[in-house]
Amino acid sequence: EPEVTQTPSHQVTQMGQEVILRCVPISNHLYFYWYRQILGQKVEFLVSFYNNEISEKSEIFDDQFSVERPDGSNFTLKIRSTKLEDSAMYFCAGRQGSGNEQFFGPGTRLTVL
């Protein structure tokens, strides 16, 4: 059964550094999402992406964040200058054109020191 994959599983970085989190969605998915979950808190929507552009973003997704689908298979989230409060699990999700359910990857744990 096809799965969403994410790399790395754990990323440790220094405050102020740039990080890129990578996701490979399921091949027939058309809509892509990033969420984050701070330890012990809710899963929070960051951004949705369709047809190579952002379709919606939350107030969390400020100018420090960007997303890209560089090669038709990978889907990336870049944080330009990480802050301590960016420490969280980041989940990538995707869905088909038909059907609304989103399928999530295993997540990347980002630790900012």
Chain residues that interact with other proteins, rule: CB under 8 A? 4, 31, 33, 35, 41-45, 47-50, 54-58, 89, 91, 93, 99-107, 109
Nearer to other proteins, 42 or 63 (CB): 42
- In the block, tokens 């399928």 appear at 103
Nearer to other proteins, 41 or 52 (CB): 41
CA–CA distances in Å: residue 89 to residues 23, 32, 44, 83, 111: 13, 17, 10, 14, 9
From the CB of 22, what's the least distance to other proteins, in Å?
15
Nearest CA to 105 out of 46, 12, 36, 40 is that of: 36
From the CB of 81, what's the least distance to other proteins, in Å?
25
From the CB of 109, what's the least distance to other proteins, in Å?
8
10, 109 in Cβ contact below 8 A?
Answer: yes
From the CB of 5, what's the least distance to other proteins, in Å?
11
63, 57 in Cβ contact below 8 A?
Answer: no
Nearer to other proteins, 7 or 58 (CB): 58
